[in-house]
Copies of this chain bind each other. A is one copy, B any other.
Amino acid sequence: MRQSWLERMRDAIADRGRELLKLEPGSRTAHDPLALCRQLLSGHGEASAVALSRAILQLYQGFDAAQRENFFDMLLDEFGPDAAAIEAATARYVGSSDTDDFLALLNLVEPPRQELFRRLNMAPHGTASLVAMRADLLAMQRERPAYRAIDADLKHLLSSWFNRGFLQLRAIDWNSPAQVLEKLIGYEAVHEIRDWDDLHRRLMEDRRCFAFFHPAMPDEPLIFVEVALVNGMAEYVRPLLDTQTPVLDPATADTAMFYSINNTQTGLRGISFGNFLIKQVLTELRAEFPGLKRFATLSPMPRFAATLRVALAGEGRGLSTPLVDALLAPYAETLCAAAGSDQVRQALASLLDGEPASHASVLAEPLKLLALAYVSATRTDGGLIDPVATFHLSNGAQLECINPFADLSEHGMSASFGVMVNYRYAPEQVEQNHESFVGTGNIATARPLAKLYRRLEEIRVALNDD
Contacts and interface: CB of A to CB of B under 8 A. Distances in A.
Interface string A138-152: 000000011011001
A81 interface: yes
Contact of A20 (B86, B275, B431): B431
A441 to B, nearest CB: 13
Tell me which of A43, A48, A178 has the highest count of chain B C-beta atoms within 10 A of its own C-beta: A178
Contacts of A434: 44, 46-47
A279 interface: yes
A395 B46 CA distance: 9
A341 interface: no
A179 B123 CA distance: 31
Contact of A99 (B1, B145, B166, B394): B145
A199 to B, nearest CB: 8
A283 interface: yes
Number of copies: 4
Nearest to A203: B178
Contacts of A159: 118
A157 B149 CA distance: 20
A12 B285 CA distance: 12
A202 B395 CA distance: 44
Contacts of A65: none
Given A9-B287, A81-B102, A275 B46 contact: yes
A106 interface: yes
Interface string A48-86: 111000000000000000000000000000000101101
Contacts of A90: 86-87, 90
21 contacts: A1-B2, A9-B284, A13-B283, A17-B431, A21-B431, A43-B438, A46-B434, A47-B395, A47-B431, A49-B164, A50-B276, A84-B94, A86-B94, A103-B148, A103-B149, A103-B152, A161-B163, A161-B166, A168-B215, A174-B178, A175-B178
Given A6-B169, A20-B430, A47-B430, 17 more contacts: A1-B2, A3-B175, A9-B169, A9-B284, A16-B283, A17-B431, A47-B431, A50-B276, A83-B93, A100-B148, A106-B109, A126-B165, A161-B161, A174-B178, A175-B178, A176-B177, A195-B196
